[in-house]
Amino acid sequence: MAETPALPAEAPSPLAALLRHARHVVAGNPVTALAFLLFLLLLLCAVLGPVLAPHDPLASDTTRALAAPSARHPFGTDHLGRDILSRVVVAARLDMGIAIFSVALVFLLGGLAGVAAGFFGGWTDRIVGRLADTIMAFPLFVLAMGIVAALGNTVTNIVIATAIVNFPLYARIARAEAAVRREAGYVQAARLTGNGEIRVLLTTILPNILPIMAVQMSLTMGYAILNAAGLSFIGLGVKPPTPEWGIMVAEGASYIVSGEWWVALFPGLALMLAVFTFNLLGDGLRDIVDPQRRS
Amino acid sequence: MLRTALTRLGTALPSLAGVIIVTFLLTRVLPGDPAIYFAGPVASPEAIAAIRAQLGLDQPLWAQFASYIAALVKGDLGVSLTTGQPVAAEIAARLPASAELTLLGLFLAVAVAVPLGILAALRQGSWIDHACRLLTTAGVSLPVFFTGLLAVYVFYYLLGWSPAPLGRLDSFLSEPPARTGFLLVDSLLAGDMEVFHAALAQILLPAATLGLFALAPLARMTRAAMLAALSAEFIRTARASGLGARSVVLTYAFRNAMLPVLTTLGMVFSFLLGANVLVEKVFAWPGIGSYAVEALIASDFAPVQGFVLTMAILYILLNLAIDLLYGLIDPRMRKVA
Amino acid sequence: MDSPPMDTPPMDTPPMDTPHVPLLDVQDLTVEFATRRGPVRAVRRVSLSIARGETLGVVGESGSGKSVTSYAVMRILDRAGRIAEGSIAFSGVPLRELGEGEMQDIRGREISMIFQNPRAALNPIRTVGRQIADVLLRHGQATRANARAKAIEALEQVRIARAAERYDAYPFELSGGMCQRIVIALALACRPRLLIADEPTTGLDVTTQKAVMDLVSELTRARGMSTLLITHDLGLAAAYCDRVVVMQQGEVVESAASHSIFRAPQHAYTRRLMRATPRPGARLRDLLPEGGAVPEPVATAPAAAPDAPPLLEVSSLVKEYPRAGAAGLLTRWLKRGAPPAPFRAVDGISFTIRRGESLGLVGESGCGKSTTSMMLMRLLDPSSGSIRFLGQEIGAMPARGFAASPLRRRIQMVFQDPTDSLNPRLTAARAIADPILRMGEARGAALRARIDELADLVGLPRALLHRFPHQLSGGQKARVGIARAIALNPDLVILDEPTAALDVSVQAVVLNLLQDLKLRLGMSYLFVSHDLHVVRLLCDRVIVMRQGRIVEEGSAEQVLEAPRADYTRELIAAIPHPPI
């Protein structure tokens, strides 16, 4: 390809440099390393959940209902005698899946709309801005409730609702970053070197915005998980007996007042851990992608 | 000043229009037959057809929209299927309970978050800074319904400090005459200290749960805004002129730091109004959130639609108030308006 | 710790108030900053003293520690910084030993300070009058009852017209020059004995700079005050100071009376700094360090015949912008007025550039010079008028599509801020290669050879080619920007204040490089700048712009030696320069 950049022979590949830098950041920041380990653990549960679970997450055994944590059931059992540990592990796939799909969806739609709005301005900007403003005029969780109620009570619609309520955030960040760069010196310079507008957008502006959006993605992943779990806590989306953290907390809620704390606690902790991991990871990612801090 | 307020009101109009259009579209344009939603899950085909005609769903979209607007202007949000009551009346009756809870939660959050953020910024790297970071990280990571349940387990089941999480007031006590609808205020106005204490005991736990949730973004932003303000060049000028620490921190830095905090407050309200729904469910709070949740489960759409619209309008009004407050603090905004 | 009893002023009867004791005496001052890589000494064993009524200049380039020294004297270093060693005596009182409360009494009342970037130095949401009143009240110079009157008085003393009205103004409602007057009023309100001025004119227009400096020197002289003037500008120090201290990398390298330091600089660094400062009579080569100057290359490109058609011909060029506030429909309805007339940033200018010629475009901020260069670059569409380049009308070609025009490669630009103009994700080599990849033919080994050749041309070591912008110095980044602009041998290069962000010694080198390149490659330049002395060094002809119009045009010699327009005369008079 004639387009490949001609780098001097001694230049290290950008990927190797990034990896070296990532190692440097992780070494200097044990919290990021911890977040990364937690992330791997979550990923492991999501991928291999059914294999890892010691019991069948759906098998009920009323003789063992509401048993406190023990060696056989480290997290105890619920009102139908199902093993909570197994249910928590297996639920990772669904909870993470909802979060990842909704964030990926909004990353694509919101990110592209925002970049286009910031870069082209004019009508594009006005339409995207009005759309984002209208969504922002609602309390976000309330809007998500309304959307799921109207579209129908399914997991897919939870993904869509979560993506819609996150749209303004992504569109605004992408728009602001693109608008700042539109008149930046190096973007003007790219125009002078014969790049058309679309090319400037794709080769000069997007690569400089992507890292910021990636950080945003990790940070909103936590919010997406909370949003989805909140919806299923009030009975939307996921139907019992499917294991899902939000609905498991909801099932455990009635046993809290009678002292059976483990039913709600462990799925709640799992939820918290997942959100916590993504928040920490977002902060760590910010350090890794920031080229100013690379040395 | 009046003119500024009017201009601000003008900027809220497009949001209001957007909200009304979206709530309308949610029922009419999305896939699925709205008549089935409105009729409920067990209605016969004849009943559905009757409802379709009654709702005017056989008419063109613009005509439906016009009658929707006409009903809205009259304050008509439809009738709930499960209770048979007008939605507007039920929401109006339940709104004070939600408002009291949300406002107290917000008050608690601001009362803790702002001083904490200021102290953390002033003593960067000290134990209070670390405490602030811990609290904010926990606050954003904890699902609010989970915090509520934990609080119930610890303060009701284990310690017995708090009454059972069942509503606003012990059922053996009678409510004071309603003036504001806020039990805490009404009981004080009636001079009934027993009811005041009982109501306070009931509301403290859910309000603190909401407060912890709202605290995180507020404290985080206060700290960041204070740090930015303290390193601003005009603070250097103030210090170089010999102004004392008090006036540098409070008059010069804090007032400037208030501006981003106020902006964050708008976002916090959005979170709070959503979290309110979850907290009401956990504490069986008789507010509009639990009303909407009950309707959702019964597939009773009119209350849900009314609830979404009410919340959105409340939120727009809150943002308007924040904008006005912002204009009071920042002279640059006054000029733009 | 806030307000001390006002009846016991701490400094009015200093212990040894004799003429022999200097007002400020700094000995062996060392300031350390805690960084992630351990402590860094920003100021090392600096000693200086100021006598009563004396004006001392501290001159140095960025990073020389001159500002840090003044913050240490005021004890307003930020959290990471601390005074490691040394003594600071003000009127005999050791400042390092005072408590914070006592130090606050001194700040603003005995020693006060003015800063660069005056708008940022004022609290944006407090009226300027109240900010002055705050200081007066703090130091017991006014009571609640008369604070307003006294603050207005302080405003009047810095010649602010309608001072009573301005009391209620916010900083954003005032111009930069006006804000600096307010900062001066704030600093002088309590009649201190020492004024520290930290780059007080940086960021202001040339004519405003002169007004501000004249005001400071007049007021301090009238009150018998001492002044410490911190600046990077040797000319400014020479014009206003009795003595000058030169700092380099945290140390004082030379200290002498102004007239002697400029006539016979002792230290090599001072000599280099002096030489690099543009001044009347100096030629480009004179700016380079002694012995470092190489002879100018012989022009290889033949000079164009004087009757040849011009390379660039601009006529009646106009750029209009709608006024702010004309946008909102609702606002317009509320105000019910006709939309205001559009603002003319460029108001019908005409000029030509011949092949091989350098034209200077000079003016203060807001005069329309940047808008003009953006239109010529075809990055911005003109409202009306024509731009003919190489005989073709390019003004009518829309800016969005110009990237595809074969003429694109023949006009290039060097930007003002070398950091901002390089993509942070591209290496130096990739940045230079960009125009060749898009519009040139060289690929593979030929491309690599061309990049090496360009690096050599602009004096960028080849070893630096694989670095990212943040790993390069300001001068190196400027070289990358120049190499990129000349990569395809353009006919016209627009230089938009290419040295404004650089230290004066780097500026000297870059200006010489630009001149050499022009002679060697036969390009034409349009050099946009606010500094007439810099423009004169590089340009054959000069255009002076003001408020979107050309007020004077002529040869560089004529415009500088015998300016015809009043405005040009004002501009020239406003530039301070060393008395050499």
Q: Give the whole-angstrom CA distance, residue C34 versus residue B294.
A: 59
Question: What is the count of residue pairs from B and C with beta carbons less than 8 Å apart?
Answer: 97
Nearest to C170 among B238, B242, B331 (CB): B331
Which positions in chain A touch B274 (Cβ < 8 Å)?
139-142, 144, 230
Determine the pLDDT at residue A10: 41
Q: Give the whole-angstrom CA distance, residue B42 versus residue B24.
A: 24
Note whether C520 and C486 are within 8 A (CB): no
Q: Give the whole-angstrom CA distance, residue B248 versus residue A147.
A: 48
Task: Look up residue B139 and give its amino acid.
Answer: G
Q: Show the CA angle centred on residue B97, arms to residues B92 and B99, nearest 5°.
A: 85
N-term to C-term CA, chain C: 51
C24: left (phi over 0), alpha (psi -120 to 50) or beta: beta
Determine the pLDDT at residue C298: 62
Determine the pLDDT at residue C318: 93
**CA-CA-CA-CA torsion for B39, B42, B46, B47, nearest 10 degrees?**
-30
Looking up tokens 């002694």, which residue turns up? C290
Q: Give the whole-angstrom CA distance, residue B156 versus residue A256.
A: 10
> Which residues of C make CB contacts under 8 Å with B?
1-3, 74, 76, 78-79, 100, 104-109, 112-113, 115, 117, 120-126, 134-135, 138-139, 170, 172-173, 183, 186-187, 330-331, 334
Determine the pLDDT at residue B2: 67
Q: How many CB atoms lie within 10 A of CB B59?
A: 13
Determine the pLDDT at residue C156: 92
| Nearest Cα residue to B215 out of B109, B306, B56, B76 | B109
| Nearest Cα residue to B253 out of A62, A49, C123, C108 | C123
> What share of residues in chain B are helix, strand, coil (percent, to 5)?
75, 0, 20
- CB pair distance less than 8 Å for B311 and A250: no
Q: Give the whole-angstrom CA distance, residue A271 versus residue B9.
A: 41
Which B residues, 203 through 232, put their C-beta within 8 Å of a C-beta on chain C?
Answer: 231-232
Name the burial class of residue C311, with classes exposed (0-12), middle (13-18) and buried (19+) by CB atoms within 10 angstroms of its CB. buried
Peptide bond into A241 cis (omega under 30): yes
Task: Look up residue C16 and give its amino acid.
Answer: M
Nearest to B141 among A136, A143, A272 (CB): A272
**Dihedral sign, Cα of residue C545, residue C546, residue C550, residue C554:** negative
Q: Give the whole-angstrom CA distance, residue A291 versus residue A186.
A: 16
Chain A: partners with 3+ C-beta pairs within 8 Å: B, C
Determine the pLDDT at residue A295: 35
Which positions in chain C touch A194 (Cβ < 8 Å)?
403-404, 408-409, 435, 438-439
CA C473 to each of CA A40, C476, C478, C502, C534: distance values in angstroms, whole numbers, following the listed order: 40, 5, 9, 10, 22
Task: Over range A48-56, report the average pLDDT.
Answer: 79
Residues in chain B with pLDDT values less than 70: 1-4, 28-41, 55, 335-337
Determine the pLDDT at residue C13: 43
* Residue A192 predicted with pLDDT over 70: yes
Determine the pLDDT at residue A3: 38
Mark A196-227 as b/e (b = at least 16 C-beta within 10 Å).
eeeebbebbbbebbbbbbbbbbbbbbbbbbbb
Tell me whether B332 touches chain C (CB under 8 Å).
yes
Determine the pLDDT at residue C337: 54
Concatenating the DSSP letter of every residue in A207-244 gives HHHHHHHHHHHHHHHHHHHHHHHHHHHTT-SS-TTS--
| Nearest Cα residue to B220 out of B111, B329, B118 | B118
Q: Which residues have a Cβ under 8 Å from the Cβ of B327 and sit 6 or more positions away?
A: B4, B8, B333, B334, B337
Q: How many residues does chain A have?
A: 295
Tell me whether B25 touches chain C (CB under 8 Å).
no
Concatenating the DSSP letter of every residue in B44-97 gives -HHHHHHHHHHHTTTS-HHHHHHHHHHHHHTT---B-TTT-SBHHHHHHHHHHH
Series of mean pLDDT values for 10-residue runs along chain C (580 residues): 42 49 92 83 92 93 88 88 92 90 92 89 93 93 92 92 91 88 92 93 84 92 93 87 92 89 86 83 81 62 62 93 59 56 88 92 88 91 92 88 88 89 90 90 89 91 89 89 92 90 86 90 91 87 93 90 91 74
- CB pair distance less than 8 Å for B143 and A146: no
- CB pair distance less than 8 Å for B241 and C107: yes
Which positions in chain A touch C448 (Cβ < 8 Å)?
6, 8
Determine the pLDDT at residue C305: 54
Query: Which two three-digit tokens encode residue B101?
Result: 């809870």
Which positions in chain C touch A197 (Cβ < 8 Å)?
400, 403
- CB pair distance less than 8 Å for A271 and B143: yes
Determine the pLDDT at residue A294: 41
Question: What is the count of residue pairs from A and B with beta carbons less than 8 Å apart?
Answer: 150
Note whether C85 and C29 are within 8 A (CB): yes
Note whether B286 and B167 are within 8 A (CB): yes
Helix count and strand count (H, E) for chain C = 19, 20
DSSP tag of C138: H
Determine the pLDDT at residue B79: 82
Task: Look up residue A193 and give its amino acid.
Answer: T
Determine the pLDDT at residue A72: 80
pTM of the model: 0.82
- CB pair distance less than 8 Å for C451 and A6: yes
Q: Which residue has the higher pLDDT, A5 or B286?
A: B286
Question: Which residue of C123, C126, C199, C230 to mutate against B (max B Cβ within 10 Å)?
Answer: C123
Q: Give the whole-angstrom CA distance, residue B99 versus residue B81.
A: 25
Q: Give the whole-angstrom CA distance, residue B180 versus residue B178.
A: 6
Determine the pLDDT at residue C381: 92
Quote the crossing angle between the two packed helices C474-486 and C428-439, to the nearest 10°. 10
> Which residues of C make CB contacts under 8 Å with A?
377, 379, 400-401, 403-404, 408-409, 412-413, 415-417, 420-425, 427, 429-430, 433-435, 437-439, 443-444, 447-448, 451, 462, 465-466, 468, 470-471, 481, 484-485
What ipTM was estimated for this complex?
0.86
| Nearest Cα residue to A8 out of C488, C467, C440 | C467
Name the burial class of residue C333, with classes exposed (0-12), middle (13-18) and buried (19+) by CB atoms within 10 angstroms of its CB. exposed
Task: Over range A56-80, report the average pLDDT.
Answer: 79
